Amino acid sequence: MASEDTDSYSSEELFNEFDPKIAANPQGRLRAMLERSPIERTGDGSVRISGRDEVKFAFRHTEIFSSANAINIGNKVPLIPLQIDPPLQTKYRKLVDPLFSRKRMNELEPSMRELAVQFIDRFADKGGCEFNSAFAIPFPCIAFLRLMGLPLDHLDFFLELKDGIIRPEVSDGEDRQTKMNATGERIHAYFDTAIDERLAQRDDGLLSHFLDAEVDGEKLSRDEIQGICYLFLLAGLDTVTASLGCSMSYLAQHPEQRQQIVDDPSLIPSAVEELLRWESPVGGVPRLVAQDAEVAGVKLKKGDHVGIGIASANIDARGFPEPDNVDFNRRPNPHFAFGGGAHRCLGSHLARMELRVAMDEFHKRIPVYSIKPGETLRYSTGIRQVDYLPLVFGT
């Protein structure tokens, strides 16, 4: 599939993350950025890294590109392990990595499959659905609540908290950060109560597990547990929702490729990877420069804000032959949709399993579908998501 004509973007648009027109088809803008330079200083003084090799370098060099304080999303304590640099971050990863291992996620697969089928059965014979509300939003959220050992009827409350941080609704004159801070207070209060409840009585969820977990022979403090839970809530729900929505929207608009996975479901795992590469729902991640350095001829100063461009690196021809060709047989597929280096996504095995199971069960029951006629899809930015995805089945 060809990208849009890169010349059609003004330089202002090239750096406008929040333009919905660009969000719908970001690859043209990303291609233009890559062609300008794999790393450059932008109009506001921050540094944008677009090229594959440069992105890989940034992910691997946490001594230059620090995650600590790179962003404030209403949290009062550092998000663990995301906002901690190695070597301490490595200790936290040793604690949480086994909880999200491929083996453990494979064990969860049958129950996740059952959950997916329950949701799909509610709309499979209805002729169509709004995919986000019917599936992409509740499915990962219920999966998360189960994993954490939190009550499933907290679903709506959880979604409200997550949206309050990721897409805060602000009216004229209202400040995004103030809004996020207020939601952040509610998230901390929620987990404070949940921690107290599990201190009184343990269950088999992850939250109880954290109460007894140790790093360097010391139990985790309440603040550390808060930092982990806050991050999990934000990292584990929206990303899967967005990936499901972007992938299904692509398949709804590319019937021949959809037919490939209907005819041969063994292609689903590689289709999931290729759609993660092409759609790149987490388009970029922030860093702060921790020491003066020079990367690919660009001088970086301590304190510079950096955007690491995952989505652009994922279509860089240096890493992917024929990068604009969405190929469900692409192997290898060393994309950066889950980041890279020390902070590479903790939940990638969980996310992949959720996406595989969803694709598999959906297409078994609904092999033919398209976007409801007359509807224009609208994408939001930040974490790139189709805001409203009306599907009709059978055509």
What residues are labeled active site? 167, 238-239, 345-347
Long-range contacts of 217-225 (CB under 8 A, 24+ apart): 222/192, 222/195, 223/77, 224/77, 224/80, 225/191, 225/195
Q: For residues 288 and 64, what is the distance between their CA atoms, to the nearest angstrom?
A: 8
Out of 81, 164, 309, 323, name the contact with ligand HEM by CB under 6 A: 81
- Nearer Cβ to ligand HEM, position 252 or 351? 351
Q: How far is the CB of 321 from ligand HEM (least distance, A)?
A: 23
- Nearer Cβ to ligand HEM, position 93 or 188? 93
Size of the site for ligand HEM (CB under 6 A): 25
Handedness of CA 157, 160, 166, 168 (dihedral sign): negative
**Restricting to residues 48-77, which ones interact with ligand HEM according to CB under 6 A?**
67
Q: For residues 160 and 119, what is the distance between their CA atoms, to the nearest angstrom?
A: 20
Is position 249 an interface residue for ligand HEM (rule: CB under 6 A)? no
Is position 231 an interface residue for ligand HEM (rule: CB under 6 A)? yes
Q: For residues 141 and 105, what is the distance between their CA atoms, to the nearest angstrom?
A: 16
The interface region with ligand HEM, picked from 29-37, 123-131, 245-253, 337-345 by CB under 6 A, is 337-345
- Torsion of the alpha carbons at 6, 12, 14 and 18, rounded to the nearest 10: -130
Out of 38, 164, 307, 339, name the contact with ligand HEM by CB under 6 A: 339
Amino acid letter for position 243: S
Amino acid letter for position 199: L
Q: How far is the CB of 314 from ligand HEM (least distance, A)?
A: 11
- Nearer Cβ to ligand HEM, position 9 or 165? 165
Out of 27, 50, 239, 257, name the contact with ligand HEM by CB under 6 A: 239
Site string for ligand HEM, 173-202 (x = CB under 6 A): ------------------------------
Residue in the shown chain whose Cβ atom is closest to ligand HEM: 347
Instruction: Tell me which residue of 251, 21, 27, 234 sits closest to 131, measured CA to CA.
Output: 251
- Nearer Cβ to ligand HEM, position 183 or 243? 243
Q: For residues 284 and 280, what is the distance between their CA atoms, to the nearest angstrom?
A: 9
11 beta partners: none
Handedness of CA 322, 245, 127, 269 (dihedral sign): positive
Is position 230 an interface residue for ligand HEM (rule: CB under 6 A)? no
391 beta partners: 129, 371
Q: How far is the CB of 82 from ligand HEM (least distance, A)?
A: 4
State phi, psi for 10 to the nearest 5 degrees.
Answer: -75, 165
Is position 123 an interface residue for ligand HEM (rule: CB under 6 A)? no
Q: How far is the CB of 336 from ligand HEM (least distance, A)?
A: 7
Tokens coding 113: 């499959």
Q: For residues 117 and 140, what is the distance between their CA atoms, to the nearest angstrom?
A: 13
Q: For residues 262 and 260, what is the distance between their CA atoms, to the nearest angstrom?
A: 6
Out of 213, 227, 347, 384, name the contact with ligand HEM by CB under 6 A: 347
Site string for ligand HEM, 262-281 (x = CB under 6 A): -------------------x
- Nearer Cβ to ligand HEM, position 9 or 51? 51
- Nearer Cβ to ligand HEM, position 33 or 350? 350
Q: Helix axis angle, 155-166 relative to 176-200, nearest 10°?
A: 140
Residue 90 contacts residue 342 (beta carbons within 8 Å):
yes
- Nearer Cβ to ligand HEM, position 232 or 250? 232
Give the β-pairing of 128-130 and 293-295: unpaired
Where do the DSSP E strands lie in 11-134? 39-41, 47-49, 65-66, 128-130
Is position 353 an interface residue for ligand HEM (rule: CB under 6 A)? no
Is position 229 an interface residue for ligand HEM (rule: CB under 6 A)? no
Say how far residue 249 (Cα) sits from the centre of its chain.
16
Q: How far is the CB of 96 from ligand HEM (least distance, A)?
A: 7
Site string for ligand HEM, 89-118 (x = CB under 6 A): x---x-------------------------
Is position 343 an interface residue for ligand HEM (rule: CB under 6 A)? yes
Residues near ligand HEM (CB under 6 A) are 67, 81-82, 89, 93, 231-232, 235-236, 239-240, 243, 281-282, 285, 310, 337-339, 343, 345-347, 350-351
